[in-house]
Amino acid sequence: MRIVLVHPAGSNWVPGKKDITTTANRMAPLGILSIASYLEREGHEVFVYDCMGPYAVHGARANARIIVGYDPDIVGFSTTTSSFLDAYSIASIIKQAAPEIQVIFGGVHVSAMGGLLLEEFKNIDFLCLGEGEKTLSEISQGKNPEEINGIVFRSGTDIVTNPPRERIHDLDQLPFPAYEKLPGFPSRYELPLFSYIFSPGATMVTSRGCPYKCSFCDRSVFKNEYRYNSSQYMYEHVRYLYERFGVRHINIYDDLFTVHRKRVAEFCNLMISRPLPVNFNCAVRVGHADNELLRLLKDAGFLQISVGIETGDSELMDVHKKGVKLDEVEDTINRIKACGLRAKGLFIMGLPGDTENTIRKTSDLAVSLGLDDMNMSKFTPFYGAPVWSDVYESGRFDYDWKKMNCLNFVYVPDAIESKDRLDELYNWHVKRFYSSRSWRRQLIKRFWEHRRSFLRLLKHMPTFLAAKRNFEPGCRRR
């Protein structure tokens, strides 16, 4: 079979503004790269088309023309909520040009919504729910759809949802993602500014699933069962990226990298005893970052540790991130920094229950922690997240899929007067954090370390200045 796997662009910035997403951070689409390498090992001819790649064209018709040019038997789209409609526009043009091509949709949005999508979107042949490697393999083998677990399809006028597919328990059986199928990788797939010292960079995922149930997280694809690669597999993956592509920095995008402490310690010891000139960033959860482990991470080449903090209000923390306490957050950040690692805080603004007072508490906490960096997401209710059932009762919700990308406020809590006011508070916080004297002093101190980021910033200065202006209107210091 000839198969094209597509990463659609969707709407990734602010409506009406230039999309700077890929300039700030272009990530390799690891999900379809994993499926691509698995299918290729099964003997199929696989192409990956990244609509957010460095050489991508603009517009559904232009993208569809390129995809049809591969002469595929199957085209698979991996979609988020904000990219689904973009992907469907491309799929509809493909179906019009070549109706014999099988069109498959998967990804988090599809896994959350399931068969509801086939009722309205007629140009999709199959939905792939959950992990895609084995499911796509069975579809590609021409197996009877009734016998393929994990898919939704049409049988006459009926929509059939098959039993769920059993998850892959031994992730070491999967080949490394097919990074080589991305034109411009790794040099054109750049990590976020000031998050690395050496380049080029790349991304890895070393586990699937999460044992926790934060209110805002959609676990529709990997569920809550936590599975992971062995330490030896992780080391070989890093060695492959370094020797094959010259990668010098890796962002590990596991939801909770250090949950299984033993395998992380083993990986660190491998990096210490058989060193590779590679740095890492990862994320931890409060309660999974003891001092000994932090020192191992530092010795193994880790640079920056992200901590999911979300809010500075203790009552909201109890609702949205059960089991995490604010004093533990402060202690974890202090210990990360004491071990010589950089600390990044991850926050969410506009959660159900947020008020102007709780938002100020969150901003105060972000500034007070002495973080090396922070990310403030705009709360977006996703269909598969636990909080979904309450959003219509706790605020006003603009159910526009294209805007649901954590970069737009589509939900406004009852206690906030308007979306405009929420935007004002967001802009105030971003300017407050990045204009603080301590953060700027820290950045200047690391000027030479970050010379590659500064050069990239200068190269794309007009784009970044345009983005900066997005934080100006209606913004006033408070």
Half-sphere exposure of 67 (CA within 13 A, CB side): 37
Domain at 2-161: CATH code: 3.40.50.280
Point out which residues pair with 282 in neighbouring strands: 305
Peptide bond preceding 211 in cis form (omega within 30 of 0): no
Question: Would you kindly state where each structural domain of the chain is located, as residue ranges?
Answer: 2-161, 191-471
Task: Give pLDDT tens digits for 147-198.
Answer: 999 999 999 999 999 999 999 999 999 999 999 999 999 999 999 999 999 9
Task: Give pLDDT tens digits for 159-171.
Answer: 999 999 999 999 9
pLDDT at 14 (0 to 100): 65
Q: Rounded to an integer, what distance in angstroms lies between the CA atom of residue 463 and that of residue 290? A: 41
Mean pLDDT value across residues 427-445: 93
pTM for this prediction: 0.94
- 27-66 b/e (C-beta count within 10 Å ≥ 16 → b): bbbbbbbbbbbbbeebebebbbbbbbbeebeeebeebbeb
Architecture of domain 191-471: Alpha-Beta Horseshoe (3.80)
Task: Give pLDDT tens digits for 6-21.
Answer: 999 987 666 666 677 7
- 131-162 b/e (C-beta count within 10 Å ≥ 16 → b): bbbbbbbbbbeeeebeebebbbbbeeeebeeb
Average pLDDT of the chain is 93
3-state secondary structure of 86: helix
Task: Give pLDDT tens digits for 63-79.
Answer: 999 999 999 999 999 99
Q: Is the pLDDT of residue 210 over 90?
A: no
- What confidence tier does 477 reach under pLDDT thresholds 50, 70, 90? very low
Mean pLDDT value across residues 94-107: 97
